């Protein structure tokens, strides 16, 4: 695994809470194996040998073990509505992925909200980001990733800015119940 992925795995294992906003893809902690595989084939066409893809998918599934911990972290995901509509892989892959979101959202420590398309410009236009909360006294860490790799943000003012952005996105997003309804409707649309 690349060093930045190993560092993220290490941090995720100690999380108390995670707040995450996504614009294009379902977060790796919520992905099915088939969706993860389809993402890798779409984002990196022809880059990885089949064995490498399977290792990466397995690593993503191992990351999800934090969901089953005795004292799991509080997880709050905001997904742009286009994620529900964009087919990654086949329709059956998307259907299964969306059903997994519904299943995971039943956990009391997991909140999933959908940011509807009709919401005008938001602080989310800058792109996806996360806030990682570790045990006290460690301050929150901002996190983002993209084609250039992973970026950990420890500057207090930048973390504070992302915290405010996440708060605004939380207010603009559908309620938890309405978000689950939106996901359920999207399942039916992927026939």
DSSP string, the chain: --HHHHHHHHHHHT-SEEEEEESSS--GGG--HHHHHHHHHHHSTTTS-HHHHHHHHHHHHHHGGGGGSSSPPEEEEEEETHHHHS--S-HHHHHHHHHHHHHHTTSTTEEEEEE-TTS-S-GGGG--EEEEE-STTSPPEEEEEETTEEEEE--HHHHHHHHHHHHHHHHHSPPHHHHHHHHHHHHHH--
**Structure confidence at residue 5 (pLDDT):** 66
Count of structural domains, the chain: 1
Contacts with 13 (C-beta within 8 Å, 6 or more apart), sequence order: 66
Tell me the residue range of the domain where 102 lies.
Answer: 3-189
CB atoms within 10 A of CB 6: 11
**Structure confidence at residue 121 (pLDDT):** 87
Q: The pTM is what?
A: 0.93
**Structure confidence at residue 3 (pLDDT):** 62
pLDDT in tens, the chain (191 residues): 656 667 777 788 889 999 999 999 999 999 999 999 999 999 989 888 999 999 989 988 988 999 989 999 999 999 999 999 999 999 999 999 999 999 999 999 999 999 999 998 898 999 999 999 999 999 999 999 888 888 999 999 999 999 999 999 999 999 999 999 999 999 999 88
CATH of the domain at 81: 3.30.870
**Structure confidence at residue 83 (pLDDT):** 97
Q: For tokens 């207090």, name the residue.
A: 156
Could you give phi then psi for residue 174, rounded to 5 degrees?
A: -60, 155
Q: What whole-number distance in Å separates Cα of residue 94 and Cα of residue 72?
A: 26
Nearest to 79 by CA among 105, 43, 54: 105
Q: Write down how long the chain is.
A: 191
CB atoms within 10 A of CB 178: 13
Angle, to 10 degrees, between the axis of helix 33-43 and the axis of helix 50-63? 130
Would you say the C-alpha torsion 151, 153, 159, 161 has a positive or negative sign? negative
User: Per-residue pLDDT tens for 64-78?
Assistant: 999 989 999 999 999
**Structure confidence at residue 59 (pLDDT):** 87
């Amino acid at each position: 695994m690349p060093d930045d992925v190993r560092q993220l795995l290490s941090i995720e294992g100690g999380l108390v809470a995670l707040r995450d906003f996504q614009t294009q893809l379902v977060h790796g902690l919520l992905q099915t194996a088939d969706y993860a595989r389809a993402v890798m084939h779409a984002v990196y066409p022809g880059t990885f040998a089949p064995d490498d893809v399977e290792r990466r998918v397995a690593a993503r599934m191992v990351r999800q073990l934090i969901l089953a911990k005795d004292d799991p972290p509080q997880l709050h995901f905001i997904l742009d509505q286009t994620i529900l509509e964009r087919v990654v892989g086949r329709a059956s892959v998307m259907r299964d992925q969306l059903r997994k979101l519904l299943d995971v959202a039943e956990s009391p420590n997991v909140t999933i909200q959908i940011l509807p398309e009709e919401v005008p410009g938001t602080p989310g236009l800058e792109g996806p980001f996360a806030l990682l909360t570790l045990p006290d006294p460690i301050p929150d860490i901002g996190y983002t990733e993209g084609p250039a790799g992973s970026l950990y943000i420890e500057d207090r003012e930048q973390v504070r800015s992302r915290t405010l952005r996440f708060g605004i996105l939380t207010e603009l997003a559908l309620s938890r119940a309405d978000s689950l309804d939106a996901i359920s409707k999207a399942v039916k649309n992927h026939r």
